[in-house]
Amino acid sequence: MPVRIFINYRREDAPDSAGWLAEHLGRYFEGQVFFDTADIRLGANYRKAMDAALQSADVLVAVIGPQWLTVTDTAGVRRLDDPDDPVRYEIEQALRLEKSVVPVLVRGATMPTPRQLPESLANFHFSNGKPLSPARFAADVQELAGEVRDMLQAAENRRAADAARASQPAETGALPPACQGALQEMLHALLPDPGPRAPVTDQHVRLIHSCWRRPDLDTDPRYGCLRMWQIHVMLAATPAVLSRIERVEYWLDPTYPVNDRESTDAAKNFGFYELANGHSEIAAIVHVRGQAAPVRLTRFIGMSEKGPKLKPLFIQTPPPP
């Protein structure tokens, strides 16, 4: 069976705890747990074997003992400060690959603070950890196995949704990304061109969008486990007008988790997720080269059965400066 769970640990810290954990998790997930000393054959390239296991795994379990932070090399340099430190490298890769990363705290260890970690591991501090107690080791591992099983199932659901989406055409009612160029061409013929010296106004530029379902995110607790859509917004204008645009700032309603983004490319997509029962407001501040006053476009994003739709606002409220 493919590797689904990767055990990360420091040999100078808690190798016995890591070994016991790997053994016990192996009883719940037979053939799916990667533990270096058991799964890398003699003479094999260690880094290649680790990279292959990390790519295959859905969950990285980082075993943290009392000396995890403070172990040093022969020169007295903290191992964690070395970019080539295997423990650091494995966690960095797991975070980069968006794997589930689970700190497991043993022998009374506590979660490192962001200041104690290298900058590349700062987000590791916010991973919710699981303490293991010697007095209830089997029970703690059983609870951990249940949580890991849920993570593996969520990863399986995302893969299935990605495969289904790749095999199906885009849903009706939503503009596929490949059609945006054709729509741009159509709008070029409809939108007026003010000429090279006249100011650009909201009569010369429009906001257009495309959207599609993201069923792989429906079960993600970060988004409330609701039906998810992804929406991309872009600026439409004639080629002459687009050539005069210096940059575009996109603003979202302050209630949205990320309430501002900026694009240096006038035609670049501005992508974000929107809940099926949510409504939001998006504004674009279009900075035109040689023109003091920017053009402000504001649209309301209303949800429909076929996804998010951009609608004009009757009252134009400029975003904060």
Please write the tens of the pLDDT for every residue from 2-40: 889 999 999 999 899 999 999 999 999 999 999 988 888
| Segment holding 5, helix H or strand E | strand 5-8
How many other CB atoms are found less than 10 A from the CB of residue 12? 15
Structure tokens belonging to residue 173: 């009612």
pLDDT at 187 > cutoff 80: no
Flag the least confident range among 5-14, 69-78, 169-178, 215-224: 169-178
Helix (H, G, I), strand (E, B) or coil at 293: coil
Predicted local confidence at residue 266, as pLDDT:
45
Predicted local confidence at residue 246, as pLDDT:
84
Helix (H, G, I), strand (E, B) or coil at 62: strand
Instruction: Indicate the class that CATH gives domain 169-312.
Output: mainly beta
Phi-psi region of 307 (alpha: psi -120 to 50; beta: other; left: phi over 0): left
Instruction: Indicate the class that CATH gives domain 5-164.
Output: alpha beta
Task: In the chain, list all ranges with CATH 3.40.50.10140.
Answer: 5-164
Structure tokens belonging to residue 231: 């929406």
Contact call for residues 279 and 302 (beta carbons, < 8 A): yes
pLDDT at 321 > cutoff 50: no
Task: In the chain, list all ranges with CATH 2.60.40.1970.
Answer: 169-312
